Structure 1
Amino acid sequence: MKQDRVVVLGGGYAGILAAQRIAGRAPAGTRVELISDRPHFTERIRLHERVAGSAPRRIPLQRLLGRAGVTIRVGRVEGIDRSAGTVRLDGGSVPFDLALVATGSRTDWERIAGAAEHALSPCDEEAAERMAAHVASGNLAPLVVVGGGLTAVETAAELAERGHVVRLVTAGPVLPDHAPAARAYAVGVLRALGVRLREETRVAVIERDAVHLADGETIAGRAVWCGGFVPHPIAYDADLAAAPSGQILVDASLRSRSDPRSFAAGDVARVEGSAHLRMGCVTAMPMGAHAADSIVARLRGKEADAFRFRFLVQCLSLGRRQGLVQTVDPWDRALPRFFRGRTGAWIKERVCRLSVGALEWEQRLPGLYRWPRPPLQHGAPLRERLLPR
């Protein structure tokens, strides 16, 4: 009997969930191996807490994958040799029959001159650890958070609540995708915490102890870069078809458009012809689960279903005691209703815990994880209507 080998690249939300699901549902004899550049899973959605002084939130990969029978290999992925059917690592290579790329995203350091050389950041684990060390050193210089999105606002609030002098500078408004009343609430909380805001203000250059604005003004302090994410560059390293964003182009089943043996999920993937999916565990986990189901279908000689997903909310914390949960439509557009204060903080904390809980339970009961989907359109195939969800 042929033993298929499935290799999952990436030890984040999408990769771990996918590896668990494949190992638990694939035909007997299927070998599942997960490659990660570190031996633990990091709760990336809590890194803004880490940089302000909280303890690291890490879980050994063995705890999340050992029961599922997934082989763990620690190493840095350098590319995929599609002709040979191998993944190239910094210390060798791994053969595969099917591969799932879930290598995630990285901090977009290139958007502003000087950011990579001088700025701190909470956007990935390595940068967050460096920033946590700086904050813990007792340096009293102001921290200048650059950005106006979810990560920037959470980081500014967390730092200010713990007594740090914080400035926030953003090229547009704070939380531009939120409803006006929700934005006003977040701005009010930031100001109450002592954060000094500069909206509609562009940053030109970042130096080690100063942020130079496009209008010629200089703000003294250490920059904290929260200017966005870019996908892992593996699409180019593997010569896979990619979107202009650098994400791997996949079809509706999350299979690569240029290699039938490769699939992609999470921040590194872009579904061709579909609406943009916001980067984060909110989309990474559903994509990882669906990619796993597509791979299992392929191993069983069945047709894979199309990926379906709808957004429900955007959650952010405003320190440890307040939060903001913005309701959104299926396409991630803000609706008038939102939850704030302690209620918002409670919901956000439950969501964070649920993300880890889903990984722990999927290992025990493969296929348990579910995610929000839009209603099936009239005329959808009967097979899709009857498929258990």
Structure 2
Amino acid sequence: MTENTDVVVIGGGYAGVMAANRLTQRDDVTVTLINPRPAFVERLRLPQLVGGSHDAVVDYREILAEGIGLVVDTVTRIDATERSVTLATGGTVCYDYLIYAVGSGSADPSVPGAAEFAYPIAGLEEAQRLRPVLDAAPATAAVTVVGAGPTGIETAAELAELGRRVTLVCGEVLGPYLHPRGRRSVAKRLAELGVIVLDGPGAKVTAVTRDDVQLSDGRKVPSEVTIWTAGFGVPDLAARSGLSTDALGRLLTDETLMSVDDVRIVAAGDSAAPSDLPLRMSCYAAEPLGAHAADTVLSRIAGERPAPINLGFAGLCIGLGRRAATAQFASKDDTAKGFYIGGRLGAKIKEIGCRGVVKQLANEARKPGSYTWVKDDKRQELLRAKRGGGLPTAERTA
């Protein structure tokens, strides 16, 4: 009689759902997904939620394979010795293998006043909390978005398209990931929408008050609603549980995504730091990492050696309201190229991408093991060079 293997997945985002679905390839594996919410959050659409054009949630029944147990709760501690997790409600769930896919959220801002007077939107509840604030603010109210990454740019564009007076404070550079050509495309569209973009060395936020945002060059930007999108953090569950993490709190793993402390714990998505060299925190990376985490667990169950991660990138698409976007293409090593597609065609690409990542989860639920992704061997070459030709072995035992 085949022995059953219990796998617990912590986190029901892009990485966690992909991992859970992929694990159902084996009938002798029981999968339990633990998530604090009863619905899947489309984080790619949170700026749209802020703008009122999308609710950014999907029913798990649409994307989760049958037979996966969904526990709506929060894990407060991982006991690696006992192979169990403690829930906020007081119960425990035991596991044979654990996939750590807790994702990321807003970083605690160190800027004086930001925690009190600015609204983060990295999570569903945060974005939902902002909606009534915006609804109650006069149409002429000054809105300031702090942070010029994709979330900040998209939020600024969504609100400006609605006629809001928006200032985007970049810190230094608008869209740091973008190639200069792609950046000019984004800047042009923001200008068309009336967004005031503040960038350069003097545009770093030094304080936030109820009425303004103060910059490093002494300027004070009037702001009745301040939205904070600068920086991301990860939950401290791994650190609180005595597991090794990087400086940001991501779980340290080898190249197969197994924890450096325990081969029974495998990480995926934004909360993973393989070889202390994490990939870009993104939905694009989350799904392949979730799939690879599942493959690592399945390999260990089968008594096979897990493979190292192999993930190539294609680029980044930034929505600029409902009618435009900039699709920035990149090399497989995630270096932005000079080629981009903007305007309405860019917007179509953005929407196809948002729908596509959810569709990929649903497809994996129906046909586990079918999901594939772009590969790139340069990461392994880089790691070999840094380590003098060697890679950490994946042949560790429990």
Pairwise same-fold verdict (TM > 0.5) = yes
Q: Which residue of 1 aligns with 2:270?
A: 267
* CA distance in 2 between partners of 1:14 and 1:325 (Å): 23
**1:55 Cα offset (Å):** 3.4
Normalising by the residue count of structure 1, what TM-score does the alignment of the two structures yield? 0.93
- Amino acid of the structure 2 residue aligned with 1:14: A
**1:122 Cα offset (Å):** 2.5
The answer to whether the aligner puts 1:164 opposite 2:164 as a matched pair is: yes
The answer to whether the aligner puts 1:73 opposite 2:71 as a matched pair is: yes
The answer to whether the aligner puts 1:89 opposite 2:90 as a matched pair is: no
Taking the TM superposition and a 5 Å limit, the aligned residue runs for 1:80-229 are 80-91=78-89, 92-140=91-139, 141-200=141-200, 201-221=203-223, 222-229=225-232
Q: Which residue of 1 aligns with 2:386?
A: none
**1:239 Cα offset (Å):** 1.1
**1:189 Cα offset (Å):** 0.9
Taking the TM superposition and a 5 Å limit, the aligned residue runs for 1:242-253 are 242-253=245-256
- Amino acid of the structure 1 residue aligned with 2:351: E
| 1:82-134 CA distance string (max 9 Å, x none) | 11111111111111111000000010132422222211132211110011221
Q: Which residue of 1 aligns with 2:396?
A: none
Distance 1:151 1:253, change over 3 A: same
Q: Which residue of 2 aligns with 1:323?
A: 325
- Amino acid of the structure 2 residue aligned with 1:169: V
Q: Sequence identity, in percent?
A: 37
Normalising by the residue count of structure 2, what TM-score does the alignment of the two structures yield? 0.91
**1:298 Cα offset (Å):** 0.9
Is the 8 Å Cα contact of residues 246 and 252 (structure 2) preserved in structure 1?
yes
* CA distance in 2 between partners of 1:295 and 1:35 (Å): 17
**1:42 Cα offset (Å):** 1.0
Is the 8 Å Cα contact of residues 243 and 249 (structure 1) preserved in structure 2?
yes
Residue among 352, 357, 366 paired with 2:354: 352
**1:286 Cα offset (Å):** 0.3
**1:81 Cα offset (Å):** 1.0
| 1:24-55 CA distance string (max 9 Å, x none) | x13x3321100000000011100000101123
Number of aligned positions between the proteins: 376
2:125 aligned counterpart, secondary structure: helix
1:244 aligned counterpart, secondary structure: coil
- Amino acid of the structure 1 residue aligned with 2:130: M
- Amino acid of the structure 1 residue aligned with 2:344: R
Which ranges in structure 1 are unaligned for 5 or more consecutive residues?
A: 379-389
**1:240 Cα offset (Å):** 1.0
**1:368 Cα offset (Å):** 1.2
* CA distance in 2 between partners of 1:111 and 1:186 (Å): 28
Q: Which residue of 2 aligns with 1:31?
A: 30
State the 4+ residue runs in structure 1 displaced beyond 4 angstroms. 375-378
**1:57 Cα offset (Å):** 2.5
- Amino acid of the structure 1 residue aligned with 2:87: L
Taking the TM superposition and a 5 Å limit, the aligned residue runs for 1:225-244 are 225-244=228-247
- Amino acid of the structure 1 residue aligned with 2:15: A
More off after superposition, 28-37 vs 132-141? 132-141
Q: Which residue of 1 aligns with 2:312?
A: 310
| 1:41-85 CA distance string (max 9 Å, x none) | 0111000001011231212223322x4310110101111011111
| 1:184-241 CA distance string (max 9 Å, x none) | 1211111110111111211111122321222222211121101021112112022111
* CA distance in 1 between partners of 2:102 and 2:313 (Å): 22
- Amino acid of the structure 2 residue aligned with 1:267: D
Is the 8 Å Cα contact of residues 147 and 168 (structure 2) preserved in structure 1?
yes
Q: Which residue of 1 aligns with 2:385?
A: none
2:120 aligned counterpart, secondary structure: coil
Is the 8 Å Cα contact of residues 254 and 265 (structure 1) preserved in structure 2?
yes
**1:273 Cα offset (Å):** 5.4
* CA distance in 2 between partners of 1:329 and 1:248 (Å): 27
More off after superposition, 339-348 vs 118-127? 118-127
2:17 aligned counterpart, secondary structure: helix
